[in-house]
């Protein structure tokens, strides 16, 4: 089972705010160690001021400045406004502490006077200013992370729609290409065997039923696709001469319940018939579809290689290009396709393995 990475962009927005408020108003307790003593009323009131100022800096950035200016690349407005807000919060905390000192003088910590007191005052204000800067950075990170997640989600949805449209377009291209090859075969058969051509028309009707009703689905049962391929091979066998060795074998488990993208293998078989048969020389086409491991299906095709002449290359390569595109869309990173010629270019082989079927 895959582990899901958790990041800020996956957290609910309300949970982010709850964590922020718990941190801000739990900070005084952590700093002053109130867990072991009873806090004085003046101390509690005095320590509420800084979290209020920090929350103000955070939310004015989170709700207004970051989406309104930073994300719109208006840095000339964003930076000065942030600086003014931080200075205003420094004045706010200074006034807040003075008010608490006035009303609760006994609860205030001892302050150093003179030069050391001034230096202490500057260090505390510098500390607060750095804290406001970190708070601003936090609001920027959270808001931009959410914005990125929103944009990424929209991009993924757009990509999914594009993939679905392209896959549908590929399906629509497969049908005419397949029908053109099949009709050409029947046309050639009519010239020397009309009776066998009639049988071929019946086989074609079964093929068309599969193409029309199953091709619109993303996945279909493997057994249904194998019946279609078997019918196609038998249809092609009718026009072959005796010097062609044609075999179609399947080796699948008895409890086969695999699912497969329809017509994913047909172009490979078409290619074997197109380039693997010679009218004069001995030829062979060996087709084997098997599954040796659960969820893995392999289609292995070997055929003699008789490349078409340049004046007979109509549609050459279209089917294989479509197969490559469909594999990338339907089985991304879940397939292996090895194909090519042997050393003397007399045999062409194609081995396509689909994973997680």
Quote the distance between the C-alpha of residue 226 and its chain's center.
30
State the pLDDT confidence band at 39, using cuts at 50, 70 and 90: low
State the pLDDT confidence band at 2, using cuts at 50, 70 and 90: very low
pLDDT one-digit tens code per residue, 291-338: 988 889 999 999 999 877 655 544 445 568 878 888 988 898 999 999
The pLDDT value given to residue 302? 96
Could you tell me the two tokens for 212? 């029309």
On whether the CB atoms of residues 335 and 327 are closer than 8 A, the answer is: yes
Residue 356 has pLDDT above 50, yes or no: yes
What is the maximum alpha-carbon separation in the chain? 117
Residue 259 has pLDDT above 80, yes or no: yes
Average pLDDT over residues 135-155: 87
Going by DSSP bridges, is the β-strand pair 296-304/259-260 parallel, antiparallel, or unpaired?
unpaired
State the pLDDT confidence band at 109, using cuts at 50, 70 and 90: low
The pLDDT value given to residue 142? 86
The pLDDT value given to residue 315? 44
The span from the CA of 91 to the CA of 113, in Å, is 20
Q: Which residue has the higher pLDDT, 6 or 173?
A: 173
Q: At what angle do helices 75-103 and 41-60 cross, to 10 degrees?
A: 170
Residue 38 has pLDDT above 70, yes or no: no
The pLDDT value given to residue 299? 97
On whether the CB atoms of residues 287 and 247 are closer than 8 A, the answer is: yes
Domains observed in the chain:
8-156 (no CATH), 192-355 (3.30.565.10)
On whether the CB atoms of residues 108 and 99 are closer than 8 A, the answer is: no
């Amino acid at each position: 089972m895959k582990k899901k990475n958790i990041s800020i962009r996956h957290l609910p927005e309300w949970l982010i705010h709850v964590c922020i408020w718990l941190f801000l108003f739990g900070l005084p307790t952590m700093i002053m160690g109130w867990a072991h003593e009873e806090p004085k009323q003046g101390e509690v009131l005095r320590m509420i001021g800084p979290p209020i100022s920090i929350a103000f800096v955070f939310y004015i950035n989170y709700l207004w400045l970051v989406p309104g200016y930073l994300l719109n690349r208006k840095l000339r407005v964003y930076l000065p406004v942030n600086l003014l807000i931080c200075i205003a919060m420094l004045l706010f905390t200074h006034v807040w502490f003075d008010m608490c000192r006035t009303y609760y003088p006994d609860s205030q910590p001892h302050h150093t006077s003179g030069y050391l007191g001034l230096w202490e005052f500057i260090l505390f204000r510098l500390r607060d200013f750095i804290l406001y800067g970190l708070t601003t950075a936090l609001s920027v990170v959270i808001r931009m992370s959410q914005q990125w997640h929103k944009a990424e989600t929209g991009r993924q949805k757009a990509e999914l729609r594009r993939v679905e449209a392209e896959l549908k377009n590929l399906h629509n291209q497969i049908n005419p290409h397949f029908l053109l090859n099949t009709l050409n075969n029947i046309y050639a058969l009519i010239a020397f065997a009309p009776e066998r051509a009639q049988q071929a028309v019946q086989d074609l009707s079964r093929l068309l039923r599969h193409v029309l009703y199953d091709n619109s689905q993303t996945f279909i049962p493997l057994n249904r696709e194998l019946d279609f391929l078997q019918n196609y091979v038998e249809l092609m066998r009718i026009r072959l001469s005796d010097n062609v060795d044609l075999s179609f074998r399947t080796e699948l488990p008895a409890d086969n319940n695999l699912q497969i993208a329809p017509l994913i293998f047909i172009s490979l078989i078409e290619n074997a018939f197109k380039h693997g048969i010679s009218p004069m020389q001995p030829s062979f086409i060996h087709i084997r579809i098997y599954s040796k491991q659960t969820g893995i299906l392999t289609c292995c095709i070997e055929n003699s290689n008789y490349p078409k002449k340049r004046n007979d290359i109509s549609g050459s390569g279209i089917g294989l290009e479509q197969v490559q595109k469909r594999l990338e869309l339907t089985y991304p990173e879940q397939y292996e396709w090895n194909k090519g010629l042997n050393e003397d270019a007399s045999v062409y082989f194609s081995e396509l393995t689909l994973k997680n079927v």
